[in-house]
Amino acid sequence: MSVLGLKSVKDHLSEQEIIRLHRELTVPCAVHDVLKGLSPLDDTATYAMDVMIAEMPVDAALLCVSLSAAHIAHDLTGLHPMAGALAVETRRITHEYGPTWLAYADGQLNDDAVNAAQTQFTDSMAEDFEALADLLDTCGSDMPGDSDQAQLCTLLADHARSYAAYTNAMVNGEDLGIIYEDMDAHPAQFSPGIPSGQSNVIAFPGAPRPR
C-alpha cells in the first residue's frame, strides 16, 4: 500500500476496479467489442475513439491506451510473438497508475496528494507511452493492414506517440503549442482522474456513458 493524501492507495486493482476503468474510459470497451465482432471498426467508430482519446488528460489517456492494448494482446496471443510482452506492459501500467486515478475519482486525495502524484508519475509517463507505442507498432506491422487488429494498433500507437511528445514537452517546459499542431485536441496537462458523474468523455456509439 502506498499513502497519498487522505487514504492509502492500493498497489493493485481488483477485477471490479478494472471493469470500472473500462466503463469510465469507454474506449477499452469499444476495442473489446470490435475485436469480438460485436461492433464494426468503421469510420464513425474510428473517429469516435480518436476524439475520446485526444481529449483525455495524459494519465487517463495512458490508462485508456493500456487497457485497450491489453485486449489486442489477448486477441493476438498465440498469433504474434510480442503479444506476451504487450500484455505484461499493459498490466504493469494499468496497476501502476490505476489505483491513484480511482482514488482521486473517489475523493480520496487532497491537493498535496495530487501534487505528489504529478511529481511521481509525470516523468515516467512519456517512457510508458513510448513503450506502448513501440509494442503496438510491432504487433500491428505483422498483421494484414486492413485487419481490425492492425488498424487498432495504429490508432493507439499514434495517440501514444503524440502523448509521449506532449508529456516530454510538459516536463521540459517546452512550447506546448508546437506539440498541439500534431495532436487532434488540446488535452489537459494532468488530472489524476475524472470524478464519477463529472466525466466529459464522449460516449462511444452503443456503449454506456460512464457513471
pLDDT tens-digit readout, 112-163:
777 777 777 777 899 999 999 999 999 999 888 899 999 999 999 999 999 9
Inside any domain, residue 187: no
What is the β-pairing status of strands 2-4 and 7-9?
Answer: antiparallel
Q: Which residue has the higher pLDDT, 168 or 27?
A: 27
Least-confidence region, from 11-25, 129-143, 155-169, 179-193: 179-193
pLDDT at 116: 73
CB burial of residue 37 (10 Å; 0-12, 13-18, 19+): exposed
Task: Round the average pLDDT of the chain to a whole number and report it.
Answer: 80
* Cell numbers given for 177: 503549442
pLDDT in tens, 60-77: 999 999 999 999 999 999
> Which of 7-11, 79-83, 165-169, 203-207 bottoms out in mean pLDDT, i.e. has the lowest?
203-207
In a domain, 208, yes or no: no
pLDDT band at residue 182 using 50, 70 and 90 as cut-offs: low
Residue 209: inside a domain: no
With a cut of 50, say whether residue 7 has pLDDT above it. no
Which tops the pLDDT comparison, 132 or 189? Answer: 132
Domain count, the chain: 1
Domain range for 147: 26-180
The answer to whether position 118 is within a domain reads yes
Is there a domain that residue 203 lies in? Answer: no
Does an H or E element contain 9, and which?
strand 7-9
- Average confidence (pLDDT) over 2-30: 75
Cell numbers that stand for 131 in this block: 513503450
**17 occurs within a structural domain:** no
Is 86 domain-assigned? yes
**Closest CA relative to residue 131, chosen from 77, 185, 92, 184:** 92
List pLDDT tens digits, range 68-115.
999 999 999 999 999 999 999 999 999 999 998 888 888 887 777 777
Helix H or strand E encompassing 3: strand 2-4
C-alpha cell read off for 174: 517546452
In the DSSP assignment, the letter for residue 13 is -
Specify the 3-state DSSP secondary structure of 177: helix
Would residue 77 count as lying in a domain?
A: yes
pLDDT value of residue 112 = 78
Inter-axis angle of helices 43-54 and 27-35, nearest 10:
150
Amino acid identity of residue 77, one-letter, is T
- Alpha-carbon distance of 79 to 92, in angstroms, equals 22
